[in-house]
Amino acid sequence: MTATAVGLPRRLASLVKLEHTVFALPFAYVGAFLAEGEAPRGRDLLWITLAMVGARTLAMGLNRLIDAAGDARNPRTATRELPSGLLRSGQVVALCLVALGLFLAAVWQLDPLVRLLWPIPVVLFVVYPYLKRVTWLCHLWLGASLGLAPVGAWVAVTGELPWQAWLLGAAVSLWVAGFDLFYSLFDLDHDRVEGLSSWAVRFGVGGVFAAARLLHVGTVALFVAVGLGLPVGALYWLGVTATAALLLYEHLIVRPGDLRRLDAAFFTVNGVISVVFFAFVLADSVA
């Protein structure tokens, strides 16, 4: 086996940032556990996991393909696999097709309603990379894309979409949009030069922080509303409290005049939030 063949899986995994699955997958599990009020069937969790891996890989692959030319002009992203030549477009297209196949295969093992709804996330994935070219509302679109994770898992195990499922999805959407506003600060100067749209370009650094605060307050408020609409126990409320505390910490470690810990705020804290909240929901469901 050649060195190229050995390195290809590693480069593909790096392309789609598999480690960032921690942002979405735990909240899909949250949707499944809250929907059932107890541990869902292992079979359902398996197919939800595979559907999430396929969907997220497809979304990241499409994003990298569509943004390849722009990434090559951005010093922060020029070393990514496509602009640097470590991967070819055809290889990434093949990855996207495999990911779509995995997503569809998993969807067809879940509730029949999910089979009717599968085009919705795919459309969101395709459209998202283009939005930054036309509107500073692109962060909310990304939030909606990931906010479908708990909604999809909910309907996957119950075949129903009550208001609690939608509020849970909205909470995740606001959480993702809020931390994506912080992420946009990494490329503020580049986006201005390229004439791209983002919240940071439109409203400046101060506008990013103000909007992120509002979105994350909304996240906590919606988690509270979900809990009030379900027969949850004390551990769920401890999870909401822990999430609120972590979000507060995230906003305390970065300020408009001090972005030195922006990496920690975006990657570390948000990964911890998703895992911690799911851990409390899991404990509450099986208690």
Cα–Cα dist 62/95, whole Å: 10
Each residue's pLDDT tens digit in the chain (287 positions)? 444 556 888 898 888 887 777 778 999 999 999 999 998 999 999 999 999 999 999 999 999 999 999 999 999 899 999 999 999 999 999 999 999 999 999 999 999 999 899 999 999 999 999 998 899 999 999 999 999 999 999 999 999 999 999 999 999 999 999 999 988 898 899 999 988 889 999 999 999 999 999 999 999 999 999 999 999 999 999 999 999 999 999 998 888 877 778 777 677 888 899 999 999 999 999 88
Domains and CATH numbers, the chain: 8-286 (1.10.357.140)
Q: Which among 94, 33, 78, 99 has a CA at the least distance from the CA of 231?
A: 33
Give SS3 for 198. Answer: coil
**Cut 0.85: pTM above it:** yes
How deeply is 33 buried, as exposed, middle or buried, from its count of CB atoms within 10 A (0-12, 13-18, 19+)?
buried
